[in-house]
Each structure stands twice: as C-alpha cells, then as structure tokens.
Chain A
Amino acid sequence: MHELFNNLVSNWHLNPVLMSVVTLLWILMIAALVLAFMATFAGVTSWIERRIAGRMMSRVGPNRVGPGGSLQWIADGLKCFLKEDVIPGAVDKPLFRFAPYLVFTGCFAAFAALPFGYGLVASNIDIGIFYISAITTFVVLGVLMAGWSSNNKWSLLGGIRSAAQIISYEIPTGLSILTIVVLAGTLNMQEIIQQQGGWPWHWFIFNNPFSFVAFFIFFSSILAEGNRTPFDLPEAESELVAGYLTEYSGMRFVFFFFAEWANLWVMSAIITTLFLGGWQIPGINDLGALISQSAGAGKYLWILASIAVFFTKTLFFVFVVIWVRWTLPRLRVDQLMVMCWKYFVPIGFICLLGSALFTILPQSSAWNWFYLSMRLVLTALGFGIAIALIWRSIYNIRALDDKIYIKVWE
C-alpha cells in the first residue's frame, strides 16, 4: 500500500503540512477499508458458522432472512444495536465500558499486517508476524477487565481462566512461528510468502518433518489464543453461563463476538501465510516477475488470482476451525495447562531446533533430491490425512444406510 500511495502523490509536489494531511487521510481510508472487510467477514462468518453447525447436527441453520439466511447477521447486528444499553449498577463503570474496545482493538490491529494478495497488505512492516503476535495479546487485558469489572464471581473466574490460557499459549505459538521464521529468514509476512512456492511441496508445512509437527502445534495453540473449543473454557456456555461476557448485552456484547469471529480470519490468514504458501499460485514460480512483465489488464488479473488463492486457503481453515469447534468437548483448565506446558512447549522446542538444523544442511544436487523426495512424502502424508478423513466420512454414511446429500443451500 505504501508504494501505491507514493506512486499516486509523487506527482503532486505538495508542501509538507498538506502532505501529512493527505497521508493521514490515506491511512484512515485504508483503515476504514480493512474495518469494513473485518466487520463484513465477522458477520458473514457468524452466519456460515451457524449453517455449518446446523448441518453437522442434522438440522438446517438460519435460512429465512435473505437468500438462504445470508442477511441474518445484519438482523442480529441491528437488533443488538437497538437494544437498551444495560450497565449493572454495581460494576466498575470505566473498566466495564472500556473492556470491549480493548478486545476489539487487539483483534483489529492485527489486520494491519495481514496480506490479502500480491502486494496487498495494509502495512508492509518488516516485523510483520512479531507485531501480530504481540498485538493480539491486547485481548488478555480486555478479557481481564471485563471479568473483573463485572462484579460477578462467575465472570471473574472466566476472566482469570482466559488470561492464564492466552498467556500460556503464547509460548507454543511463538515457538511454531519461530520454526517458520528460521526457514524463511525474515519476519515480514509478504517475504515469508515469497520464500515459498506454488506447489504444495514448496510450502513450509511440507518443508521438513519438524515444520509439519509445528503446524499442528501452531493450529492448536492459535485455537487456544482465540478462545475456541476445545479451549473455550473462559466462555464455557454450560458452566459459567457466558464467562466473562455474562453481564454484557447489546452492542458491547456484539463487540466481543465480532472480535472472536474476526479472530477466525486472523488465525486462518496467519496459518495460510506461514504454512501454506499464502497467495502463491500453483505452477507459477515468480509471481512478481510475471506481474511486472504483463500489460494493464493482465496485471490485475494475476493480482486477482493471487487474492482468490489466498482467500480459498484461508476460508478452508476457517471451515476447519468451525468443524473442530462443533466436534470436540472442551478441556478443563488444568488439563489445558498440562497440555501447553508438558506437551506443546517441549515438542515446540524440538521442532524449532530441528528446523534450524535443516537450514544448515548442505545444498548439493544429491541432497536436493533427498529434500525433494522428503517433501513429496510429507505432501502425500498431509493430503493422505485429508483423503482418509473423507473416506471415513463416506464409510460413516454407508454404515447407517444413509444417502449422500450434497445440497448445502437448503
């Protein structure tokens, strides 16, 4: 975005004061764009999640408001917007009011460094992934404030649990990110993508066995960061009514939930950039060179293709996160901690060391054949798991003598 801006205003020759005003307007416009995307995505995801959850439970989700129910989230948002703003009498009012904004900010600020396609990132900072990892920790502050200020013992329990959970799971997340950073050599998100290739065996997930294991660790840890099942103890619906959200209603409640659904995108986008090769189109080795060589419309077509690839991969992971939520029960707090400190952290360290080892191995042609075959085997393993899942699902359908019914638009 920075180069685009520079290209636009380089011909204007404005004086510095006006330049800073124009820069500010540009930043605000980009932020508004990203905010619009985030809000729309959060809303649409709420509908998609309810539909997918419904189909997994043999029922239909919301399908009345708008075609197939796709405007349900607008109806819900409007309803919450128009509700009375109830603040219980005994809460700590400044903290109570401020907490949703912190959670929302922590999530929204991460969008600043997320890539969307070739050359499409709101702010191409060199510490990209480090910044994202740091800014999403803001959520802890917001959750603790919400739990404490609600003046409700159940909310306090939820808030404290959540703080412990998010802070503990920062470590496996960081270790897995470092595993990839060691392979890529940079923290910049777009650079990490450019280090990977289009075909699956060029992705970092299939690079070496250690990064394959790091993928699973990262996936579980980022679920814990986002308070999703099986780690959703802070908002455990059946135990604490709604955990730290109990006393919130109306628009403040919507803020929390928007942050959670928008976090789905952040999670999936990070996984796609780090592990799955981001917007790299299969078959094209150097997208940058291709774009600079092609003429007017072709350039935009290639950029659109990269956006489409990125969105497909990210939406697939959004589906997987939703799928995991509606399958697994939740872990108890101490089991959560055991899993983090006794399982994820040691394995994360081993993955980091192993990955670092792979970067210093020799690069001769024989070794390259070895690396390629190793990556092909890992690709087969990864896709084999996916195909085995589909096979097993078909077996499940046949075992009950049901028919396969693909019409998802009920």
Chain B
Amino acid sequence: MTKLMIETLGTESTVVNMGPQHPSTHGVISLRLQLKGEVIEAIDPNVGYLHRSIEKISELTQYTGFIPYTDRVDYLSAMFGNQAWCMAVEKLLGIQVPRRAEYLRVIACELNRIINHLIACGTMAMDLGAFTPFLHGIREREKVNDIMEKICGARLNYNYMRFGGVSRDFIRGLDKEILAFVDRFKKFLPEFNRLITGNEIFEKRLIHIGVISPELAIAYGLGGPNLRASGIDFDLRRDFPYSVYPEFKFRVVTGEGYRGEVGDSFARYMVRIEEMEESAKIIRQAIEGLPEGDYQTKLLRNPVVPAGEVYSHVESTRGEMGFYVVSNGTDTAYRTKIRTGSFTAMSILPKIVPGLMVADLVALFGSLDVVAPEVDR
C-alpha cells in the first residue's frame, strides 16, 4: 500500500453498546464502549435502569416498615442493609442491643458474606467461560439458604433484624447445623481452588488487568475487597468497630500480588476467597461463644424517633454500606441516603478501562463485584 492510500483509507473507532441486557454485566447496567478493533478507548457507564426509589419510599413508610426495603438495596448481601439501617435508628433512639442479639447479628452477617463471595467468585469464573465453579458455589449457597430459612424464614430477603435486636431466636440444634456447614465449607474451599483458582488459563486472564493503585482506590472511595486488594489495610470491622466485632479474632485480608500485581483483578479475586475463610472463622468463634439472653429489646410497635441525623456504616461485602438518616420526630424518616460500595466501583471504570480489550472488561467488571441494585437503589 502506498503512503497516499494509507492516508486516504482512515480508520474509525466503533461505538458499541454493552447494553442493559448482557449476560455478564451483573444486572441491568449499560456501558457504551468506544472500540478500536478489540481495544477499548473510552467507556461511558449508564446507570439508572434498576432505580426503584428506595430512598423516597423511606419517606413514606414507617421506620419498622422500611426494614424489608433495606434488604432489597443489595439483595445478595441483605443482612448488611438490615444491620446498617437498624444501627442508624438505634443510635437515634438511643437503645442498646443485648449481647445475644449482637452475636446473632454477626453470625447472620458473616454467613451472608460467605454466600455473597461464593456468587462473586462463581460469576467471575462464569464470565470467563468456566460454568462449573459457579454451580458448585450455588450448591454451597443452597445449604446456607436452608440455614437462613431456619434462622429467619426466608431465603433471599431476610428481614431479620429489628431495632434492638433480631426478630427470632435460634431454634434448637441450629448452631450445630451451622457448625457442620462451616466444617464442610472448610473442606470445600480447597477443592474450589483446585478447580478454578489454580487454573493457569484463569490466572492468565486476570493478572495485570485493571490495576488500581492505592492512591486511586482511596481517591475514588472504594471499599471492601476492592480497596484491600490494592494493598490498603482498612476494614470497618476493625478500624471503626461496631457491634461485637472487637471480640473476634480475624485477619484483615489484603492483596499481596499473589501471582500478578497488587491491585489487579486476580488480587481482588483472591482477597474474596480468603475473606470467606476468615468469615468461617468468625462464625465458628461466634457460635462457640454464643451467650444466653434476650434476642430483642422490647420496643413500641411503632417507635417515634427523636429528631436528629445520624450516619451508620457497616463493612458490607462490596465496600462500605452507609445509611444517612435525618429524622424529624415522627414515626417516618425525613430523608435517607444510602451509600453503597458498588456505586463507587462503577465510578472508577472510566479511569482504568481504556487500554483493555473487551474480554478484559468482562473480567474486570466481575472482579469489581458490581451489582446493579446497589448502583441504582
């Protein structure tokens, strides 16, 4: 080809819609990509397809009636939403939660963390083409779903926590069942790792993809495994202690550049796998040290919350889930603002994606563990 031909030919970038319906954006999230061949030049996330105006509903429903809605902010880790809301209102009401109730809350939350990470790691493998680990994770999740059925009666939207404790006590024999699950889970994880984590192809797909430097992670307000995989040692359970977490011994897992770099997708994946182990340890400690006592402080059916504002946050599975509640002295909130970890993870995409290929974008999106309900509330 002569030089003149190359000048007149010209190449353009195509704009493609990784639209709202796509098998690997977890939920309805729309991403517009500007591609040059296989390489992405720019990305424009488009959110709002799953907006259900939960924050507005909190202004119309009473405080207790809003607890089921907090489940649905992130339905894969529903207990954390419950806990954050209940902690916020308990601060405003000024009531104490009995110790047994706190232990029950911790057990429920950590079980929820395990099953959420199982789905996160499983869907990451599924996006990369390995369908089997996802179903193995779902199988373990089903066992926990059965346990949750016995704890609170439901399998997905738990509505377990109330102001001043939890809604039901453990039935007899449930703690042995949970211990049996934790024991089996300890044996399940090495097999899961043999199947997919150690796989050379899986590793080669994930290392050096989407490296987030520690400064970038802090600047964008990431949290949870995304933040810790970049090397920053920060965990709300240890640094801003709430509930009875100070009584448990667990390790805060940070990324160490397992086989790639610190802050790449493989580090995020490995942080989740190791967090599952740590959660299993916490559950075992909690069950063995479960105190006797009340499971709920007695409250009015329809508490009238004194005027004030409060921000309460929990270490959710995807980052920091925070509830900022403004109350005006009635039995309905005046304004609620929910801060979720997936929203910040979505906001970092235009910064780290340019330069990746489409296949890498899928892997990166899975490693950030973004779910649509949290992004759009």
* A residues apposed to B, CB below 8 Å: 53, 56-59, 153-154, 157, 229-230, 232-233, 236-239, 241, 326-335, 396, 399-401
Contact = CB atoms under 8 A, between A and B. Distances in A.
B199 to A, nearest CB: 7
Interface string B127-162: 111111001100100000000000000000000000
B41 to A, nearest CB: 14
B136 A333 contact: no
A57 B131 contact: yes
30 contacts: A57-B132, A58-B139, A153-B14, A153-B16, A153-B35, A157-B358, A229-B129, A230-B201, A236-B359, A238-B23, A238-B24, A238-B127, A238-B128, A239-B24, A241-B23, A327-B130, A328-B201, A329-B125, A329-B128, A329-B199, A329-B201, A330-B128, A330-B129, A331-B201, A332-B357, A332-B360, A333-B357, A396-B191, A400-B184, A400-B188
A331 B202 CA distance: 8
A232 B16 contact: no
Q: Using C-beta atoms within 8 Å of the partner chain, give the interface range for chain B.
A: 35 or more
Summarize B's interface: helix, strand, loop or mixed.
helix
A333 B135 contact: no
B331 to A, nearest CB: 47
B16 A399 contact: no
Nearest to A327: B132
A114 B139 CA distance: 42
Contacts of B125: 329
Contacts of B196: 329
A335 B203 CA distance: 12
Given A57-B131, A328-B201, A329-B128, A239 B359 contact: yes
A327 B16 CA distance: 31
Interface of B: 14, 16, 22-24, 35, 38, 125-132, 135-136, 139, 184, 187-188, 190-191, 194-196, 199, 201-202, 204-205, 357-360, 362
Nearest to B209: A332
B180 to A, nearest CB: 11
Given A154-B16, A238-B129, A239-B362, A399 B187 contact: yes
Contact of A237 (B23, B35, B201, B358): B23
A245 to B, nearest CB: 14
A400 B139 contact: no
Nearest to A237: B23
Contacts of A229: 129
A157 B129 CA distance: 17
A335 B204 contact: yes
10 closest A-B pairs (Cβ-Cβ)? A330-B129, A57-B135, A329-B130, A329-B128, A238-B24, A329-B129, A332-B359, A238-B127, A153-B16, A238-B23
Contact of B38 (A59, A230, A333): A333
